[in-house]
Structure 1
Amino acid sequence: MSSSALTAVTELTGVEATSTHRLSGSVYEVELADGDLVVAKRHTQVSAVLAEAKSLDWIAEPGVVPVPAVRGHSDHWLVIEQIEPGQPADAEAFGRGLAALHLAGAPAFGSPPPDGPADAWIGLAPMYNGPVTSWPEFFATQRIEPYLRRTTLPWAPFEAVCARLPDLVPEEPPARLHGDLWSGNVHWATDGRAWLIDPAAHGGHRETDLAMLQLFGCPMLDRVLGAYQEVYPLADGWQARVPLHQLFPLLVHVVLFGGGYASQALSAARAALR
């Protein structure tokens, strides 16, 4: 596969790729003849490459959290700028930049990135993005029901949540979301800044990004959220709504991994109704 990566990177960047180093799975760090380093990712699904490439383009707004530049993409390969890893430091810049990203907005809830496919992916799970005017409708029909159907979980707690969504979450305009904002997709660089990688961008409720960030932990989270609030204050009661917004990533994890995520998803559904 490394030879395929060399060929793909050479064709997509126009610079000869000279060596590869596997980072994980089908992800490679590739050195170019001019001394540059890039990251090459292979996807089996054509829509996954396009969705990620267009997601990176869409969330690369001035003044937001930085993202690696797209160097090229084909049906099965995505080549992006390589960012040297470092230690977390500038939590405040991350919080302010994330707020600015959300404020950049989206045409509708469920909107895919411009020119991006409606049939996208979150990790290894399919994810549909179709514009609707109502966040409760979007969250119920595109983020709860499709994944619930692929599990053996009882429907009743989740149906109860979906029925009460208009009362549980305050109305806000569609935010421009990273869409898969767990801590592993926050890449801290050598200068201590956070970069966003592996997005599944779409128009949604900003609390969903923040809830996902809290699900698996994030360095200096209190400082990140404090700086976020300075730029784009959250509506009252947002802490109590965290379990509700975590239903989406938890159901995705039930579909992909099963195990204890099923009980976590049920607990989150019950907590959302308290």
Structure 2
Amino acid sequence: MPHGSPATPPAAAVSAATGGEVRSCTTLGTSHAWTLHSGELADGRGFFAKVADGYAEAPAAEAAGLRWLAEVPGGAAVPGVLAADGGVLVLERVHEDGARADAAADLGRRLALTHRAGAPFFGASWPGWLATLPLDNTPGDRWPEWYARRRLLPYLRDARDRGYLDSGDVAQLERVLDRIADLAGPDEPPARIHGDLWAGNVLWGRDGAVLIDPAAHGGHRESDLAMLQLFGAPHLDRILAAYDEAFPTAPGRRDRVPLHQLHPLLAHVCLFGRSYRSQLLDAARRLA
């Protein structure tokens, strides 16, 4: 029986994944297709764990992304991966301490370093996931075409097929796709990006910001910045100012924000339905 099976108690699943004894394990709730747990191993290390009920490939993709982001010296902090075994992901526990302006500026500088580290291509060498939605990480060499084909079109079709977008909505978004080369701005090399950097995926730990739940891949660095802006983030102005000081973006970034927000908004439509439709179409109108 796989470790992530609902019949496996979470403490036993964590123990099997880590190969160590679990001293305590508390269930925190659920998120998408997995249950969330926090506890302590017998050696004293605190952990946070996801145990999958289906979609067992998603925790493995998250672990690959975390390890890849962690390779950058001085880059944005991520929790260490203690184990990734089947449908179980066990991470170092982050002790939250509240957002501070100095920590936000530090995040901006560290995120710039992570992005500068780059990637060999747009995409990734592992299958991608965003919550329970598969991400096509097939490599590409030019971002506008790659973004349209691997990020926007699959979710546009999915949202249409689920009945969340009508033919007029689809036509409006297709007009954006037709102009994507003009809307994308200057060519940029692949950046090492988090890929799902909304405010909820930034934990403010005792030693600064820690990024969790990545959909990491080689992408456009402005996608991470636009995602931070999508639902707001504490001290966002400090994050962006410190980032721009360390690694200035090309002129016109603010005009391109809606383009980079189309993918996460399409994902939200696919995951949560028509409640995000108006926000998606508003972003498309801003690009028109």
**TM-score normalised by length of structure 2:** 0.89
CA shift digits 1:184-233 (9 cap, x unpaired)? 00011023x10010111011111111111100110000000000011110
What pairs up with 1:62-211 in 2 under 5 angstroms? 62-89=73-100, 90-112=103-125, 116=126, 118=127, 120-152=128-160, 153=165, 154-169=169-184, 170-191=186-207, 193-211=208-226
User: Separation in 2 of the partners of 1:201 and 1:59?
Assistant: 8
User: Separation in 1 of the partners of 2:235 and 2:203?
Assistant: 14
1:18–1:33 Cα contact (<8 Å) kept: yes
Q: Which residue of 2 aligns with 1:45?
A: 55
- Please tell me the residue identity of whatever aligns with 1:91: A
Superposed structure 1 runs of 4+ greater than 4 Å apart: none
Q: Percent identity?
A: 49
User: Separation in 2 of the partners of 1:149 and 1:13?
Assistant: 39
Query: Which among 59, 69, 78 is matched to residue 59 of structure 1?
Result: 69
Deviation at 1:2, TM superposition (A): 9.7
User: Separation in 1 of the partners of 2:136 and 2:61?
Assistant: 11
Farther-moved stretch of structure 1 (126-135 vs 218-227): 126-135
Q: Which residue of 1 aligns with 2:3?
A: none
Query: Which among 8, 19, 23 is matched to residue 24 of structure 2?
Result: 19
Query: Which among 4, 13, 26 is matched to residue 8 of structure 1?
Result: 13
Deviation at 1:14, TM superposition (A): 3.0
| Partner SS state of residue 263, structure 1 | helix
CA shift digits 1:215-269 (9 cap, x unpaired)? 0110000000000011110111101111111000000000111133111111101
Query: Which among 240, 249, 257 is matched to residue 234 of structure 1?
Result: 249
**TM-score normalised by length of structure 1:** 0.93
Aligned residue pairs, count: 267
CA shift digits 1:51-106 (9 cap, x unpaired)? 01100000002111111111111111011101111111111110001111111111
| Partner SS state of residue 23, structure 2 | strand
Farther-moved stretch of structure 1 (27-36 vs 76-85): 27-36
Closer, same or farther in 2 for the Cα pair 1:71/1:252, shift >3 Å? same
2:13–2:51 Cα contact (<8 Å) kept: no
Query: How well do the aligned residues superpose, as a CA RMSD in angstroms?
Result: 1.4
Q: Does 1:245 align with 2:260?
A: yes
User: Separation in 1 of the partners of 2:107 and 2:284?
Assistant: 29
Residue segments in structure 1 that go unaligned for 5+ positions in a row: none
2:58–2:132 Cα contact (<8 Å) kept: no
| Partner SS state of residue 188, structure 1 | strand
CA shift digits 1:11-40 (9 cap, x unpaired)? 232321022112221010022222221111
User: Separation in 1 of the partners of 2:217 and 2:8?
Assistant: 34
1:19–1:30 Cα contact (<8 Å) kept: yes
